[in-house]
Amino acid sequence: MKVPQLDYSIFEKFNFERKPVGISYLLKEPDDIPQMEGKLALCELFTRAQTSQPFYVSRENVQCGEQVIGMAGFPPVMHSGQLGPHFGMFKTTAANRRVYEYMPLLGKDTVKCILYAPVDNLPADPDIMVITADTTQAEIILRASTYSTGKMWSSKGTTCLSCAWMYAYPYLTGELNYTVSGLGFSMKARQVLPEGLFLITIPFDIMPMIINNLNDMEWNPKWFTLGRDKFVESVINLDKEMLETFGAEYCKNPEDMNM
């Protein structure tokens, strides 16, 4: 495997309680990295990596979600929607059946093993990185994802197989995706994480941009620290400056502000 080409040290500045985890999809076992013992679901594996040395898993280690990363196909009883009503996820089998028509999945047999590593011990640049963040940390990362592009934030997910939107969707589309712990059915039932944490997946192709933006932008703008009244006052003063610079034709008059 190639050594990391990117500098991920900027993530140390966050002081995350739970380390970001790099995930790589491989077609052969990595050299000099041990295979994990036991079986865990996809939604549990990245949390194991937060506190461990790098490891990899093969099909025999994945207890749930193996279809998402192409290690197996869905059995008919699952694909036909039979399980959803039993778990209380969906009212009917038809409602459950529908999700399999748009669920993002990696191609069958395109992944033989998955490598997991905490961000401070990456053996190579990962295909995706999963970050577990509180709201303040998540705001900074999401702002960094749009800081230089202006692209909108977007979150996609489903009640069942929420791991697909963490593991497959960002990798296949190149789009950052996020959810909140406690929303995914299996993750909630398995008590994987405390509720209310942001789970942000960054794909490989936008990681350089996000790292650059994190290094470039102001993490805690002064506007966040002014308090409500001083913030409003500052905005009004800024409007007046814009009015003087560009003229009334291009600016909203401060007297017309409804704040």
pLDDT tens for 216-245 read 999 998 888 889 988 888 888 888 888 888
- Report the percent of the chain where pLDDT is more than 70: 96
The pLDDT of 195-210, averaged and rounded, is: 97
> Cα–Cα distance between 168 and 55 in angstroms, integer?
20
Q: Are 227 and 208 found together in one domain?
A: no
Q: Is residue 205 over pLDDT 70?
A: yes
Instruction: Say if residues 58 and 69 touch (Cβ distance below 8 Å).
Output: no
176 is a domain residue: yes
Cα 57 off chain centre by: 20
Q: Are 106 and 127 found together in one domain?
A: yes
Residue 218 has a pLDDT of 96
Number of domains the chain contains: 2
Nearest alpha carbon to residue 27 among 66, 60, 67, 71: 71
Nearest alpha carbon to residue 42 among 199, 154, 174: 199
Residue 253 has a pLDDT of 55
Residue 104 has a pLDDT of 96
> Cα–Cα distance between 143 and 60 in angstroms, integer?
39
Q: Are 180 and 155 found together in one domain?
A: yes
99-119, pLDDT tens digit by residue? 999 999 999 999 999 999 999
199 is a domain residue: yes
State the residue range of the domain holding 188: 9-216
Please say whether the dihedral angle defined by the alpha carbons of residues 77, 83, 84 and 85, taken in this order, is positive or negative: positive
139-143, 165-169, 231-235: which range is least confident on average? 231-235
C-alpha distances out from residue 181 to 40, 51, 117, 160, 186, Å = 17, 18, 21, 13, 11
Q: Are 246 and 119 found together in one domain?
A: no
Q: Are 151 and 205 found together in one domain?
A: yes
Q: Are 165 and 73 found together in one domain?
A: yes
- SS3 sequence of the chain: CCCCCCCCHHHHHHCCCCCCEEEEEECCCCCCCCECCCCEEHHHHHHHHCCCCCEEEEHHHEEECCCCCCCCCCCHHHHCCCHHHHHCCCCCHHHHHHHHHCCCCCCCCCCCEEEEEEHHHCCCCCCEEEEEECHHHHHHHHHHHHCCCCCCCCCCCCCCCCHHHHHCHHHHHCCCEEEECCCCHHHHHCCCCCCCCEEEEEEHHHHHHHHHHHHHCCCCCHHHCCCHHHHHHHHHHHHHHHHHHHCHHHCCCHHHCCC
Residue 38 has a pLDDT of 96
Residue 259 has a pLDDT of 42
Nearest alpha carbon to residue 45 among 27, 61, 60, 69: 61
235 is a domain residue: yes
Q: Are 32 and 93 found together in one domain?
A: yes
Q: Is residue 256 over pLDDT 80?
A: no
The one-letter amino acid code at 51 reads T
Q: Are 140 and 230 found together in one domain?
A: no
Q: Are 38 and 153 found together in one domain?
A: yes
Residue 164 has a pLDDT of 96
Q: Are 86 and 128 found together in one domain?
A: yes
136 is a domain residue: yes
83 is a domain residue: yes
Q: Which phi and psi angles does 254 have, rounded to 5°?
A: -55, -30
Q: Is residue 23 over pLDDT 80?
A: yes
Q: For the chain, how many residues are written?
A: 259
4 is a domain residue: no
C-alpha distances out from residue 151 to 11, 52, 171, 208, Å = 22, 35, 18, 16
The pLDDT of 42-62, averaged and rounded, is: 96
Query: Taking the model in full, what pTM does it have?
Result: 0.92
> Cα–Cα distance between 158 and 184 in angstroms, integer?
7
Q: Are 184 and 246 found together in one domain?
A: no
- Report the percent of the chain where pLDDT is more than 90: 80
Residue 255 has a pLDDT of 55
Average predicted confidence (pLDDT) for the chain: 93
Residue 133 has a pLDDT of 98
1 is a domain residue: no
251 is a domain residue: yes
Q: Is residue 68 over pLDDT 90?
A: yes
Q: Are 234 and 173 found together in one domain?
A: no
